[in-house]
Amino acid sequence: MATASQSFPPEDVRPLKVFFQDEARFGRISNLFSCWAPKGVRPVVQAQIIRQYTHVFSAVCPHDGESFSLILPYADSESMEIFMEGLSEQYSQHRLILVMDQAAWHRTSNLKKFENIRIIYLPPYSPEVNPTEHLWEHIREKYLRNGFWLSMETLEDMLEKALVLVEKSKQIVQGLVGFHWTLV
């Protein structure tokens, strides 16, 4: 819950936007899924187990379907600060309420404060109340299913394409994250 010290000054008349934020790890380990093939044809899907990972930080607004994402090498306080700086700049004409989980890199005292962002933390161990989790399911199922990446660059290129398409598809984002309780 936000405290009085976290509230916006009364003279701040910028429009308010509520975002839910989360991050996900994507790697070169293949996730094999069943797929369609004509009768009598056995589909061939390449697989690999290479333990290289990257992270996607995203914030989604259930009200209008807007999203902001960055692909960063680590999930740590430095990456979180880079993400929040980009979000603050992108929406500098708005006051932002950022709802997020209580990951260690979200709660560190070293995290820079941004004048237009206020944070509300979700209860611990409750990913089911963060609608951004559905964005990860969508990306994995629609864009990365049975994927095979020869390098981290090819995986990051695919993630970038997927995130650009998601950002352009505001109705899809609203459908994924616009639960009735997020729109109140």
Indicate the burial class of 8 (C-beta count within 10 angstroms; 0-12, 13-18, 19 or more): middle
State if pTM tops 0.85. no
- What integer pLDDT is reported at residue 1 of this predicted model? 44
- What integer pLDDT is reported at residue 6 of this predicted model? 67
Q: Are 56 and 176 in contact (CB under 8 A)?
A: no
Q: Mean pLDDT across the stretch 39-44?
A: 79
The yes-or-no verdict on residue 153 having pLDDT over 80 is yes
Which residues make Cβ contacts (< 8 Å) with residue 167, sequence separation at least 6?
66, 67, 68, 69
- What integer pLDDT is reported at residue 35 of this predicted model? 62
The tens digit of pLDDT for each residue in 57-95 reads 999 999 999 999 999 999 999 999 999 999 999 999 999
The yes-or-no verdict on residue 30 having pLDDT over 70 is no
- What integer pLDDT is reported at residue 147 of this predicted model? 74
pLDDT band of residue 2 (cuts 50, 70, 90) is: very low
The tens digit of pLDDT for each residue in 157-166 reads 999 999 999 9
Cα distance between residue 4 and residue 157, in whole Å:
42
Q: Mean pLDDT across the stretch 131-147?
A: 89
Helix (H) or strand (E) holding 153: helix 152-168
Q: Mean pLDDT across the stretch 117-130?
A: 92
- What integer pLDDT is reported at residue 48 of this predicted model? 67
Report the SS3 class of residue 135. helix
Sign of CA dihedral 107, 109, 18, 134: negative
Top-level class of domain 13-30+46-182? alpha beta
- What integer pLDDT is reported at residue 45 of this predicted model? 63
